[in-house]
Amino acid sequence: SESYPSLKRDPKFAELTQDDVKYFKDLLGSGSAVIDGLSEEAGEDIEPFNSDWMRKYRGHAKLVVKPGSTEEVSKILKYCNDKMLAVVPQGGNTGLVGGSVPVFDEIVINLSRMNKIRSFDEVSGILVADAGVILETADSFLAEKKHIFPLDLGAKGSCQIGGNVATNAGGLRLLRYGSMHGNILGIEAVLPDGTIMDDLSKLRKNNTGYDIKQLFIGGEGTIGIITAISILCPQRSPAMNVAYFGLDSFEKVQQAFREAKNQLSEILSAFELMDGRSQKLYNRATGKKLPLEGEHPFYCLIETSGSNTDHDSEKLEAFLEHVMGEEIVADGVVAQDQTQMQSLWKCREGVPECLGHWGGVYKYDLSLPIAEMYDLVNETRDKLTRAGLVGDGEEHAVVDVVGYGHMGDANLHLNIATRRFDTAVEKELEPFVYEWVASRNGSISAEHGLGIAKKAFIGYSRSETMVKLMQQIKGLYDPNGIMNPYKYI
């Protein structure tokens, strides 16, 4: 594959034949549930399934199948396993590590037709839904029932809840609601040999043996296909506030975070970080005016959600008075209505999309000790600047080096916005970034996973013993290795 010059197609996998395609068409019907790239007519239809959100990774699948039920997933996988046909599970295809597209000619199993909400219990707040339900659809359904999906992220309009679970996505409110490992109560999944693993429990507590569903959370489609989930959803808070601050140093951002935890405590639902450069690029790429007049090296977005508007406003006002009075924040604005809330959030959620505006972007998603988190952004920028790679003209590959992320989770997104993918830039970045992170016992992938992008670097964050145990698990569930090959481990 031209995207992966160092990789070779594994000859143990069979090549797709007309007979295989016929099997899938007989199973799923000859409508849009099968996109047959072996036939001339498929043409461009198959392209979007072969190419990732960043347009950085591109595979060569000749077949996309869209099962409509768990039984169909089971039949597809059993057939592929028996015939040694490699597969890639695919949700909304918004993943950021190249995990959701084939590397060579793996068959894409796309979950978009499995999009039914199965049940919701208004007393317990437990939602059971197919894996292919779009995150925003699930959350809108829950909103009507005064509940909220315990995960939110910028890709909510396209990503699927099965994909969110498969990547163990973190997102914008993890600080409040915790991770998928705690909120997912049950999983229905299909193993490569077609076995349906029905562990769609609706119990909060169940200490009866190993918690096997946890392996599918963050498993990135390497041991089976998630077909449904059961998830605990909190009550939706009727009182919401969003504030956007400008701050003069990263030291002050940390102070503001401490004060927010202290003073807003149980109503704090997000604390997001954006550096001044990320906001400038957001402004340049979208033409949207930034919320504050002056320029600041750092910005943060704070969201509160609680059950009592007066109580929350009182707390927020006291907090604002304190951080402004003590000059912890230099300037700030609080949203006055729903529209303003959304436009403040857009300054944070819109960053990933605008970074690709000039051509490409190198993305690093890191867990680091909070105090040192931003040093890496400065050091990376200095390094690339010294190498003469950063600047405004076409001759410079790098537009800018920015940092943003989930301050509340000590999760930094270091991004290098570029005009083109360039080996000179890559050489400066790697292994520098990974070594920097490893020397501080951080993680080289906090929330996006490994996919193909980070696979080779797992050793910076996991010991040989841990990687070996992972390989044993992979071998146990997927002895033929057909599930999302060439990735993860």
Residues at the interface with ligand FAD (CB under 6 A)? 53, 88-96, 99-100, 111, 131, 153-155, 159-160, 162-164, 166-167, 169-172, 220-221, 225-226, 352-353, 447-448, 451, 484
Q: Would you say 137 or 160 has its CB closer to ligand FAD?
A: 160
Distance of closest approach, residue 72 Cβ to ligand FAD, in angstroms: 13
Distance of closest approach, residue 124 Cβ to ligand FAD, in angstroms: 24
Distance of closest approach, residue 201 Cβ to ligand FAD, in angstroms: 18
**163 binding ligand MLT? (CB under 6 A):** no
- What tokens appear for 361 in the block? 């972007």
Q: Distance between CA 401 and CA 414 in Å, rounded?
A: 7
Distance of closest approach, residue 38 Cβ to ligand MLT, in angstroms: 35
Q: CB within 8 A of 151, min separation 6: which ones?
A: 135, 164, 169, 170, 171, 173, 174, 177, 180, 183
The 346-385 contact track toward ligand MLT, x by CB under 6 A, reads -----xx----------x-x--------------------
**485 binding ligand MLT? (CB under 6 A):** no
* Partner in contact with 99, chosen from ligand FAD, ligand MLT, none, beta carbon below 5 to 8 Å by kind: ligand FAD
Q: Would you say 139 or 312 has its CB closer to ligand FAD?
A: 139
Q: Would you say 24 or 282 has its CB closer to ligand MLT?
A: 282
Q: Would you say 154 or 163 has its CB closer to ligand MLT?
A: 154
Q: Would you say 352 or 451 has its CB closer to ligand MLT?
A: 352
Q: Distance between CA 199 and CA 412 in Å, rounded?
A: 34
Inter-residue contact 128 to 228 (CB < 8 Å): yes
How big is the chain, counted in residues? 489
Q: What angle do CA 391, 369, 457 make, to 5 degrees?
A: 70
Q: Would you say 171 or 186 has its CB closer to ligand MLT?
A: 171
Q: Would you say 332 or 403 has its CB closer to ligand FAD?
A: 403
Closest alpha carbon to 52 in 109, 125, 103? 103
* Partner in contact with 408, chosen from ligand FAD, ligand MLT, none, beta carbon below 5 to 8 Å by kind: none
Cβ-closest position to ligand MLT:
352
Distance of closest approach, residue 161 Cβ to ligand MLT, in angstroms: 17
Distance of closest approach, residue 172 Cβ to ligand MLT, in angstroms: 7
Q: Would you say 363 or 455 has its CB closer to ligand MLT?
A: 363
Q: Would you say 188 or 428 has its CB closer to ligand FAD?
A: 188
# chain residues binding ligand MLT, by CB under 6 A: 7
Distance of closest approach, residue 351 Cβ to ligand MLT, in angstroms: 6
Q: Judge if the upstream peptide bond of residue 431 is cis by omega within 30 degrees of 0.
A: yes
Find the binder of ligand MLT among 66, 147, 173, 413 (CB under 6 A): 413
Rama region for 288: left / alpha / beta (φ>0; ψ in -120 to 50; rest): beta
Query: DSSP secondary-structure letter at 318?
Result: H
Find the binder of ligand MLT among 98, 154, 408, 442 (CB under 6 A): 154
**Phi and psi, residue 443, nearest 5°:** -115, 135
Q: Would you say 20 or 220 has its CB closer to ligand MLT?
A: 220
Q: Is 150 exposed, middle or buried, given 0-12, 13-18 or 19+ CB atoms closer than 10 A? A: buried
Q: Distance between CA 304 and CA 301 in Å, rounded?
A: 10
Packing angle of the helix pair 18-28, 70-83 (nearest 10 deg) = 170
Q: Distance between CA 217 and CA 418 in Å, rounded?
A: 33
Helix boundaries (H) for 350-421: 351-355, 375-386
**156 binding ligand MLT? (CB under 6 A):** no
Closest alpha carbon to 307 in 124, 148, 185? 148
* Partner in contact with 100, chosen from ligand MLT, ligand FAD, none, beta carbon below 5 to 8 Å by kind: ligand FAD
Beta sheet of 411-418, edge-to-edge order: 331-334, 239-247, 298-306, 268-275, 398-406, 411-418, 360-367
Q: Would you say 85 or 351 has its CB closer to ligand MLT?
A: 351
Helix (H) / strand (E) element for 120: namely strand 117-121
| Residues of this chain, 316-345, that bind ligand MLT according to CB under 6 A | none
* Partner in contact with 94, chosen from ligand FAD, ligand MLT, none, beta carbon below 5 to 8 Å by kind: ligand FAD
Q: Is 415 exposed, middle or buried, given 0-12, 13-18 or 19+ CB atoms closer than 10 A? A: buried
* Partner in contact with 413, chosen from ligand MLT, ligand FAD, none, beta carbon below 5 to 8 Å by kind: ligand MLT
Distance of closest approach, residue 103 Cβ to ligand FAD, in angstroms: 12
Closest alpha carbon to 245 in 267, 275, 269, 277? 275
Inter-residue contact 340 to 391 (CB < 8 Å): no
Cβ-closest position to ligand FAD:
163
- Residues within the interface to ligand MLT (CB under 6 A): 154, 351-352, 363, 365, 405, 413
